[in-house]
Amino acid sequence: MVKMSSTREGCGEGLVLLGEKNKKVVVLDADTSCSTKTDMFAKKFPHRFFNVGVAEQNLMGIAAGLSLTDKIAFASGYSIFVSGKAWDQIRNVICYCNLNVKIGATHAGITVGADGATHQALEDIALMRVIPNMKVVVPCDALEARKAVFKIAEEVKGPVYFRLGRAAIPMITHESTPFIFGKALTLNEGKDVTIIACGIMVGEALKAVEELKKEGISVKVLNFHTIKPPDKEAIIQAAKQTGALVTAEEHQLIGGLGGMVSEIIAKEMPVPLEMVGIKDSFGESGTAKELMEKFGLTAKAIAIAVRKVMKRKKKIIPL
Amino acid sequence: MTNKELEKKANQIRRDIVLMLLESGSGHPGGSLSSTEIMVALYFSVLKHNPENPDWVMRDRFILSKGHSCPVHYACLARAGYFSEEELFTLRKLGSRLQGHPGKDRKLPGIEVSSGSLGQGLSIAVGNALGIKLDNQGQRVYCLMGDGELNEGQVWEAAMAAAHYRLNNLCAIVDNNGLQIDGCLKDVMNIEPLREKWNSFGWHTVEIDGHNMQEVLNAFKTAEKEKNKPTAIIAHTIKGKGISFMENVVGWHGKAPNKEQADQALKELSF
């Protein structure tokens, strides 16, 4: 049976490993440590953990101040509140000063579930990737989240936004799978079309591959864990190699992964592109599975997008 | 420096502010002039710092939360020897290290952090103070805020946290000149009773005449002696202090003097 876990748990484990290795790591939370899983770090390193209460703006300011005393400050909270309520603090202090603050933003996307629309961050990739100096990482499973947090916090200087989920999802990568910041990971080779996915949608993309294989469509899959800085080469290469792209994300179609890919291919290598994601709407209460069905974040929706893009690809008359 | 020398320095800094703003053609004189004694006391008496080694690890930290008052900060830094006095006249010009609001990206020596978006400095100062305590070091952290700035909710989040963590190495100074952009604080958004607010948030609070050098110095000394709490110095000041036509006039919050006005101001500031 496939192991199930959430990316927030992977992050919590990564922070404990990091805390053991590097004494400069401090972790902050805004009264959500049991949910964000920073409680694991808090139990092990209580003197290096600061719970600032329900105050995301102050959370970011204190993290900034700690980083200015040569600490690696990891500030954690719900993605909707850290990316929204504290956007000015992140933009004007953390990013403008290029401070060594890492943001662990959990409960991203619609799969937060029953808590409903006020708690479902569907705009955070857009909000974060538009800020200069900010880097954005969306792990596809708990293992990748653990590796990403462990490696990036030490290796990548300046602000990084980790987008993490609440739901337990199947493990896709293995202990031996390399995680390289800024490099997309090819999970499946194919020649007809490339699915570029991040987060929970990577698993859905792999399911879609199986369905499409039956129809004789050969699909390449890229796990695009680093949204910013984007692996441009991987996108251009995929566009050249397969001639059509589909993006899949648990985020608004505006400004997210699909937006980023379209910005790049429009300039570098225009090919037909279809995007799977939230279509300019808010979410609602329900189970993660029900919501993914309702909002079209499924392998089935990806397969439909693939068929559509294949038709468009065929219509292009070679010069 | 003696009190007399510090007062003389304050006068020189006020002249710098007038000349800088005349050259730049825009900027914020009112809040720079109201906080001049506080800034002079800090940079020429209170702070343990080294202008020749601005990143000295053991330095006390100064966070200018009211970023628009950067002319007084820039002038103090230049006069303390962080960079040349001539550079003051690049204020707000293209390519300058002296941005309209402080930008850390410009690497101007002595600027700890960018500021300009109000309400954020105290949180950063709390982070500084926590980091210093974590390393068991003795540096102190100072944060200058405007009184209008206290309208921002984040200030009170930070105030709560500073008392919670018993940050006795932290000192906040409120430049209480009573005016904000749209008018008097009591008309736009009343922040009184101020002393009671800081006290009830768990701070040690001191109230002073922010233009009396001896009172300013004494307040900083009292703050250093506090063992359990952060200290808030409420400095009663006059916006535009030292220049008759600017004093207590809202319109001089963010406006540069013209040549004639600057000449008049310099005449009034002659020592």
Residue A83 lies in a domain: yes
Nearest CA-CA distance, residue B65 and chain A, Å: 11
Range of the domain at A70: 4-170
| Same domain? A139 vs A210 | no
Hey, of A25, A48, A54, A58, which one would you mutate to test binding to chain B, going by the most B CBs within 10 A of its CB?
A58
| Same domain? A157 vs A210 | no
Q: Which residues of B touch A60 (CB under 8 A)?
A: 123
Which of the listed residues A146, A170, A194 is the one where a domain comes to its end? A170
Nearest to B117 among A50, A52, A92 (CB): A92
CA dihedral A278, A279, A284, A285 (to 10 degrees): -40
| Same domain? A272 vs A196 | yes
Question: Which residue type sits at B153?
Answer: G
| Same domain? A146 vs A11 | yes
Which of the listed residues A141, A170, A199 is the one where a domain comes to its end? A170
List helix spans (H) across chain A: 7-21, 33-36, 39-44, 56-67, 79-84, 87-89, 124-129, 142-155, 201-213, 232-242, 257-268, 288-294, 299-315
Residue A272 lies in a domain: yes
Q: Which residues of B touch A93 (CB under 8 A)?
A: 113-115, 117, 120, 124
Distance CA B236, CA B176 (A): 5
Residue A176 lies in a domain: no
In this complex, do A68 and B128 lie within 8 Å of one another by their Cβ atoms? yes
Nearest CA-CA distance, residue B130 and chain A, Å: 7
pLDDT in tens, B178-202: 999 999 999 999 999 999 999 999 9
* Arithmetic mean of pLDDT, A82-102: 98
* Res. A167 pLDDT band, cuts 50 70 90: very high
pLDDT in tens, B89-137: 999 999 999 999 999 999 999 999 999 999 999 999 999 999 999 999 9
Nearest CA-CA distance, residue B125 and chain A, Å: 6
Which of the listed residues A116, A143, A170 is the one where a domain comes to its end? A170
Chain A CB within 8 Å of residue B104 CB: yes
* Res. A281 pLDDT band, cuts 50 70 90: very high
**Cβ pair B170, B126 in contact under 8 A:** yes
pLDDT at B271: 63
| Same domain? A82 vs A136 | yes
Nearest to A58 among B105, B131, B158 (CB): B158
Catalytic residues of A: 56
Residue A319: pLDDT over 60: no
Q: Find the CATH number of the domain harbouring A75.
A: 3.40.50.970
**Cβ pair A59, A77 in contact under 8 A:** yes
Q: What is the mean pLDDT of chain A?
A: 97
pLDDT at A316: 75
Residue A270: pLDDT over 60: yes
Q: Which residues of A touch B115 (CB under 8 A)?
A: 93
| Local structure of residue B150 (DSSP, 8 states) | G
Tokens of B255: 């406006």
Nearest to B120 among A50, A53, A93 (CB): A93
Q: Which residues of A touch B122 (CB under 8 A)?
A: 61
Domains of chain B in sequence order = 3-268 (3.40.50.970)
Chain mean position to CA B234: 12
* Res. A154 pLDDT band, cuts 50 70 90: confident
Nearest to A61 among B116, B124, B131 (CB): B124
| Same domain? A120 vs A16 | yes
| Same domain? A198 vs A112 | no
Residue A106 lies in a domain: yes
- Residue percentage of chain A with pLDDT more than 90: 97
pLDDT at A318: 61
B-chain residue closest to A66, CA distance: B127
Residue A89 lies in a domain: yes
| Same domain? A13 vs A153 | yes
pLDDT at A172: 96
Number of domains in chain A: 2
In this complex, do A61 and B120 lie within 8 Å of one another by their Cβ atoms? yes
Predicted model pTM: 0.97
Q: Would you list which residues of chain A are within 8 Å, Cβ to Cβ, of chain B?
A: 26, 47-48, 50, 52-53, 55, 57-58, 60-71, 73, 88-89, 92-93, 96-98
Per-residue CA distances from A252 to A139, A275, A291 (Å): 17, 10, 14
| Same domain? A191 vs A298 | yes
Q: What is the mean pLDDT of chain B?
A: 97
Give me the residues of B, 114-133, that contact A with CB < 8 A: 114-117, 119-120, 122-132
* Res. A225 pLDDT band, cuts 50 70 90: very high
| Same domain? A112 vs A257 | no
In this complex, do B124 and A68 lie within 8 Å of one another by their Cβ atoms? yes
Nearest to B124 among A53, A65, A70 (CB): A65
Distance CA B173, CA B175 (A): 6
| Same domain? A9 vs A107 | yes
Nearest CA-CA distance, residue B122 and chain A, Å: 8
Q: Find the CATH number of the domain harbouring A248.
A: 3.40.50.920
Distance CA A100, CA A80 (A): 21
Nearest to A40 by CA among A69, A63, A18: A18
Which are the contacts of A165, defined by CB distance < 8 A and separation ≥ 6?
A6, A7, A8, A106, A107, A108, A109, A111, A199, A200, A250
| Same domain? A150 vs A194 | no
Chain A CB within 8 Å of residue B112 CB: yes
Whole-complex ipTM: 0.97
pLDDT in tens, A293-313: 999 999 999 999 999 999 999
* Cα end-to-end distance, chain A, whole Å: 50
pLDDT in tens, B39-58: 999 999 999 999 999 999 99
In this complex, do B123 and A62 lie within 8 Å of one another by their Cβ atoms? yes
Q: Which residue has the tokens 């566009």?
A: A239
Give me the residues of B, 28-47, that contact A with CB < 8 A: none
Residue A177 lies in a domain: no
pLDDT at B270: 83
